[in-house]
Amino acid sequence: MVSHRKSVSKVPETIRDVLRRYLRQGTNLGIAIPVLRAHIGAVKAKHKFSGLMERDIQQGFRELSSKYFKSEYHPTYLNRAQNRFLSTSEGRFRFRDELVDSISIKELIALESELIESLRAAYEERQAIIRKLEETRALPVGRVVEQYALIESFLNQLSGNHGEMFEVVSFAVLREYFRSFGFSLHRFSTTQANYGGIDFVGGEAIYQVTTDESLQKLRRDLAKAPCTKRVLVRSGPMPPMFACQENVLEVIELKDILSHFITWLMASDKKSRKAAHIQRVLEIALTEFRREIWAESTDIVRAN
């Protein structure tokens, strides 16, 4: 039988489609925005954009970082961008031609505003989180339920770029839980995690944290640090086909953090009639969120 179904041609992606995947993500947009600004400048001047040198991208990255996110520049971020949206020639970096050929200057300017606004929103959200943590930490020691409710709400906010929140709060809960039994857990900074593939380290194992439940992300995580024992901290369940990986000691899911680890800490606090454990969880989370924010000024200037 001959099929008369018409093939649907795929609409080519533009730089707008690609960069929107990285909204709110400082280490990705810190590379993309300086290139985008220079590209817009060249188009306005009716010049062919030959690209930026790495030192120029690094300077732009640092300017954005000083306003919106904490991250030191690392060449790995530029290497990663080359795999995603940049091309290079004679030491200069620009967007791939096929991503910008069909997009107008008006769309590029709108894209720059959208990307900047996403970084600003992420910054302001972190500030709001810090204020909420400070308020909750200041509650009387007997107010365990309210403190638990805040931690639970943070853990359940997993959409968009809230993987950061899941990492920070899950670390705070697990660190306090293991500390109660005499074990230590340490968290690497977000920037190190981006190119090292390690989020927490404890004893003989690394802890790899993700809210991305795709098989592709799981395979990438398992490929990092080969032959190293690891614990996977995930927002969802482990696919059965990967459940018996030799070096995976355990899988901790969101439901485990809520139903076991926090429940144990809360029960211990109720027994002592003090919110000692939950208070320490809040303090750890507060320290980590503060560590993620690095701004030269507390005020964000809206004009860029």
Neighbours of 220 (CB within 10 A): 14
Topology adopted by domain 15-118: Arc Repressor Mutant, subunit A (1.10.10)
Cα atoms in the Cβ-side hemisphere of radius 13 Å centred on 69: 25
Topology adopted by domain 139-292: Trna Endonuclease; Chain: A, domain 1 (3.40.1350)
pTM of the model: 0.70
| Domain boundary assignment for the chain | 15-118, 139-292
pLDDT tens digit sequence for 244-300: 677 888 899 989 998 899 889 988 888 887 778 888 998 898 888 877 654 333 333
The answer to whether 254 and 236 are in contact (CB under 8 A) is yes
Q: Which parts of the chain register pLDDT below 70?
A: 1-10, 141-142, 144, 157-163, 188-198, 241-244, 292-304
CA dihedral 143, 147, 153, 156 (to 10 degrees): -130
> Cα separation of 254 and 271, whole Å?
25
